[in-house]
Amino acid sequence: MANMPQAKYRKDYQSPSHTISNINLTFDLYDRMTTVSAISTVKQLKTETSLYLDGEGLQLKEIQISGENWSNYEELDAGLLIHQLPEEFELRIITEISPIDNTALEGLYKSGGAFCTQCEAEGFRRITYYMDRPDVLATFTTKVVADQVEYPYLLSNGNKIGEGSLANGRHWVQWQDPHPKPAYLFALVAGNFDVLRDVFTTKSGRNVDLEIFVDRGNLDRAPHAMTSLINSMKWDEERFGLEYDLDIYMVVAVDFFNMGAMENKGLNVFNSKYVLANEKTATDTDYLGIEAVIGHEYFHNWTGNRVTCRDWFQLSLKEGLTVFRDQEFSSDLGSRAVNRINNVRVVRGAQFAEDASPMSHPIRPEKVIEMNNFYTLTVYEKGSEVIRMIHTLLGESKFQMGMKLYFQRHDGTAATCEDFVAAMEDASGVDLEQFRLWYSQSGTPKLTVSSVFDAEHKTFSLSVSQQTPATPGQEEKQALHIPLDIELYDKHGAAIPLTSNGEPVHHVLDIKKPNQSFVFDGIDEAPIPSLLREFSAPVKLEYDYDDKALVFLMSHAKNDFARWDAGQMLLAKYLKENIARIADGGNFDMPLDVIDAFRGVLLSQSLEPAFIAEMISLPSFNEVTGWYDTVNIEAINFALKALKMNLAKELEDELTAIYHSLYQDKYLVEHEAIGMRALRNIALSYLAFTETGNQLVEQQYRSSNNMTDTIAAMTAANSAELECRDALMADYSEKWSHDGLVMDKWFALQGSNPCNDALAKLKLSMEHDAFSLKNPNRTRSLIGSFLNLNPVNFHSLSGEGYQFAGEILREMNESNPQVASRLIDPLLKFKKYDEIRQSMIKEELLQLQALDNLAKDLFEKVNKALEM
Ligand code: TRP
Ligand code: ZN
């Protein structure tokens, strides 16, 4: 490569040479030639009289310093170095950009007919030359000029301070954001929308205008987002005491978007997937996803915007904390157990896999080539688990004291992860010295626990050892501070009070050493321990439970999460056994008493339907691969399918009864109704594998009055390869081919189709009118699900799956490197497969590595994978 991309290191952080206190922007919007004028007030902070400004893909038209044309500057590769500057000056820069050619969707681009921006992490430098770093905070004034008819709405951050019309059919609007912010929170939108409006009155009595902008004709899909926004604002006041700080809050839904949504101050831009929903177009999962993402972006207003990040290595400061907040929001509004289960599934599945991959990194990375590569499950989800552990160690009230102190100290500034931990520590008096290692150490720790009951002394002792495997760049690991939440049960299911030397012991044990023992006294009979309750730390747990203990915990553990976890451990045990046996040419086999334990769950009168649905959900293929260093694709796939069929056959009567008893004729988006549909539809996913499957599934599809039941039927038909599958797919495509977002569900099914000519069918789907590789949602639905959710076809020994992935990646490397870089993840894990597959995947990575225009995003990942 001509220019080797350079890594940046956390340890090299330097505070800015200058500061920009305000910037005045004017955008004259045209598809091919948008003119951006930027006038900034700049002040020198150190001794340097040269100023470096980031800038990429810009046409420089003019530079003036305090009204004087300036020629003493150099245009560098990715920026501008201006020399011999006075201590304080006004910087005026005019640049030109071409939004219509921007397929990377970073900076200013066109989504459908609208102009919009995406500036996090480093997109503002594609708009104008600027100090594009999060520790430079300025107040923004933005004037947007565009055609009046095509772009009736001209939006930016803050409050509207002026508007007017111009000659030649153009008009303008000017906005001012009173809150100083880094450039990554800047946003501009210009387009023709329908608007849903509401008003929220804050607890101190201020009225905030709420506006949700959607494509024309989509107004009936905006109300759920509005309800979620109002719920978020209320919840943040009640639980965190945090109030919104502007008079207007806008959300714009766009179809072309690289990620979920973006928390730009006062003007969130959303992937339309996380806004648009009605019962005909969206599933229950979509509804809950919208609630979570609307909440997430809203909560960033305090954790991200009011207090932002000093540098991008601190990303988890805002993301881990904000994910924690959105998880708590969803848990307070819905079922805490179901939310916890689903969050833990992500951590144990995909995050643990990332921790075991070449991309393994601590939640606060030390070294970054392309920042976009670090919006990861580790920074977000493990980051949230780290915040959750602090919450567990401090308790809610001290945690809230810590939040208060954090805002007292850092409101209006750019802070570090260390600042956050220090505030928590200082406010609570809890020592977090050793705990800080969670920020710097990567990899998934393993806790190995054993126990001894001493009948003579009536003691029960737990021996706990911790070990974190080496990860790339981190050979030696230190012992972490791990909160281990436990409970002990007697044979009647009563919790035994924990005492040591007669003194009460808290149920969260502090694991701090490589090996540690805990002795509990006053214990009359061998207890059954419930360990790592609530998944109190993001670790792998090993404890030699026998079946009886797990079945006991499934029905007697006091908390729902622990019950679910016991069921998962039981399933995992027999899956592992079967996978080994099948790999040796043996057959699937499952003891009847294990099946009976799940029968008991299905027959329970006291458990919530939503929770039963989680109890009988099998671990995903990807989660199972995480149990192994070397993955036997065929054996795992066979065992998972055999387990599903076996449970379907043995529990057919119970599943059928549940299926029929949970029928609802009205569709309501309420937690109880959602739970009933979840259980009914998982029952259908089993029944699809029985004799009546085809008929039941087809009937549900034909009579469904909502998207949840429609997609459940199609998913069941797809997974069980039912006869009706193709007819249902054809019917759906005919109905929805005009709507890309609704077609995404269809593309996802084509991508994950287990039938053996799936790749040929997938290639045909790429010709579908609704498909485009330029749209990240379409690409993720079709291609992403093939790479991630179609193990048998993607890993086909013919190698066609890998070659196909390579072709797509080479194309996307040019059009949208950020999306390409997310798609490539499954290929990075090639070392987990057999030799033949390894060499075929490696071949694709080598081809990418050899490209002379390889983007930084793929460069970083491909090289990490190949050097391992
Ligand atoms: N900060 C955003 C969030 O978590 C995510 C984000 C980061 C993003 N980079 C992006 C979104 C690029 C879209 C495009 O909420
Ligand atoms: Zn976020």
Ligand 2 centroid to Cα of residue 319, in Å, is: 5
- Report whether 298 contacts 267 (CB < 8 A): no
Considering only CA atoms, which of 578, 475, 593, 486 is closest in space to residue 534?
Answer: 486
Identify whether 610 is part of a domain. Answer: no
Last residue of a domain, one of 309, 336, 367: 309
Residues 241 and 135 placed together within one structural domain of the fold: no
> What's the CA-to-centroid distance between 606 and ligand 1, angstroms?
41
pLDDT for 3 beyond 90: no
- Residues 198, 172 within the same domain: no
> Both tokens of residue 598?
């799940």
Q: What tokens appear for 769 in the block? A: 């009118």
Q: Is residue 209 part of a domain?
A: yes
Residue 334 corresponds to which amino acid? Answer: G
Q: Mind listing the pLDDT tens digit for each residue in 738-791?
A: 999 999 999 999 999 999 999 999 999 999 999 999 999 999 999 999 999 999
> Do 110 and 166 share a structural domain?
yes
Residue whose Cα lies nearest atom 1 of ligand 1: it is 262
| Residue 171 domain-assigned (yes or no) | yes
Q: Is 269 in the pocket of ligand 1 (CB under 6 A)?
A: no
Of all ligands present, the nearest one to the C-alpha of 106 is 1
Among 252, 285, 309, where does a domain finish? 309
Average pLDDT value for residue range 713-729? 98
Percent of the chain with pLDDT over 90: 99
- Identify the pLDDT of residue 669: 97
Q: Does residue 172 sit in the same domain as residue 212?
A: no
φ, ψ dihedrals at 154, nearest 5°: -120, 110
Predicted TM-score (pTM) above 0.75: yes
- The verdict on residue 861 lying in a domain is no
Backbone angles phi, psi at 108, to 5 degrees: -100, 125
C-alpha torsion angle, residues 465, 468, 469, 474 (rounded to 10) = -140
Cis preceding-peptide flag for 865 (omega within 30 of 0): no
Domain identity same for 271 and 213 = yes
| 265 and 224 belong to one structural domain | yes
Q: In this structure, are residues 185 and 137 in contact, taking their beta carbons and an 8 Å threshold?
A: no
Residue positions annotated with a catalytic role: 297
Residues 6+ apart with CB under 8 A from 239: 328, 329, 332
Q: Are residues 136 and 230 in the same domain?
A: no
Domain assignment present for 710: no
Atom of ligand 1 nearest to the CA of 304: 1
Residue 868's pLDDT band, with cuts at 50, 70 and 90, is confident
Q: What pLDDT is attached to residue 4?
A: 87
Say yes or no: CB of residue 375 within 6 Å of ligand 1: yes
Percent over 70 (pLDDT), the chain: 100
The atom of ligand 1 lying closest to the CA of 372 is 9
* Residues 178 and 274 placed together within one structural domain of the fold: no
| Chain segment 674-689, per-residue pLDDT in tens | 999 999 999 999 999 9
pLDDT in tens, 442-493: 999 999 999 999 999 999 999 999 999 999 999 999 999 999 999 999 999 9
Q: What is the mean pLDDT of residues 216-235?
A: 99
Sheet holding 159-165, edge to edge: 68-69, 59-65, 88-97, 34-44, 18-28, 138-147, 170-181, 159-165
Assigned token pair, 116: 């919009």
Give the type of residue at 706. N
Among 600, 594, 596, which residue's Cα sits nearest to residue 573?
A: 594
pLDDT of residue 1 exceeding 60, the answer is no
The number of the ligand 1 atom at minimal distance from the alpha carbon of 300 is 15
pLDDT, tens digit, 9 for 90 and up, residues 274-324: 999 999 999 999 999 999 999 999 999 999 999 999 999 999 999 999 999
**Burial, 396: exposed, middle or buried (Cβ in 10 Å; 0-12, 13-18, 19+)?**
exposed
Cα(62) to centroid of ligand 2, in Å?
Answer: 36
**867 pLDDT more than 70:** yes
List the CATH number of the domain containing 119: 2.60.40.1730
Instruction: Tell me what the mean pLDDT of segment 243-251 comes to.
Output: 98
Q: Is 293 found in the same domain as 179?
A: no
**In a domain? residue 320:** no
The parent domain of residue 33 ranges over: 19-184
Q: Give the chain's radius of gyration (CA, Å).
A: 28
Q: 3-state SS string over 154-197?
A: EEECCEEEEEEECCCCEEEEEEEEEEEECHHHCCEEEECEEEEE
- Asked whether residue 119 falls in the same domain as residue 203, the answer is no
Q: Average pLDDT in the 324-348 region? A: 98
The ligand with the least distance to the CA atom of 262 is 1
Q: Is the pLDDT of residue 2 over 90?
A: no
- 110 and 179 in a single domain? The answer is yes
Nearest-angstrom CA–CA distance, 168 and 147: 8
Q: Which residues contact 454 (CB under 8 A, 6 or more apart)?
A: 460, 461
The domain boundary residue, chosen from 144, 163, 184? 184
Confidence band, pLDDT 50/70/90 cuts, at residue 141: very high
Closest C-alpha to 369, from 857, 767, 730 = 857
- Categorize the per-residue pLDDT at 855 as very low, low, confident or very high, splitting at 50, 70 and 90: very high
Distance from C-alpha of 439 to C-alpha of 725, rounded to nearest angstrom: 47
Count of CA atoms in the C-beta half-sphere (13 A) of 356: 25
Whether residues 179 and 197 fall in one domain: no
Backbone phi, then psi, for 507, in 5-degree steps?
A: -75, -10
Q: Is the CB of 259 under 6 A from ligand 1?
A: yes
SS3 content of the chain, % helix, strand, coil (to 5): 45, 20, 35
Cβ of 263 closer than 6 Å to ligand 1, yes or no, is: yes
CATH code for the domain of 268 = 3.30.2010.30
Residue 81 placed within a domain: yes
The mean pLDDT value of the chain amounts to: 98
pLDDT tens digits, 801-819: 999 999 999 999 999 999 9
In angstroms, the CA 776 to CA 104 distance is 10
Cα 339 to middle of ligand 2, angstroms? 18
257: which residues sit within 8 A by CB, 6+ positions away? 105, 111, 118, 269, 270, 271, 272, 776, 777
Convert the pLDDT of each residue in 411-438 to its tens digit. Answer: 999 999 999 999 999 999 999 999 999 9
Phi, psi of 805 (to 5 degrees): -55, -45
Report how many domains make up the chain.
2
Cβ-Cβ contacts under 8 Å for 776 (sequence gap 6 or more):
105, 256, 257, 258, 816, 819
> Is residue 150 scored above 80 in pLDDT?
yes
Q: Do the domain assignments include residue 170?
A: yes
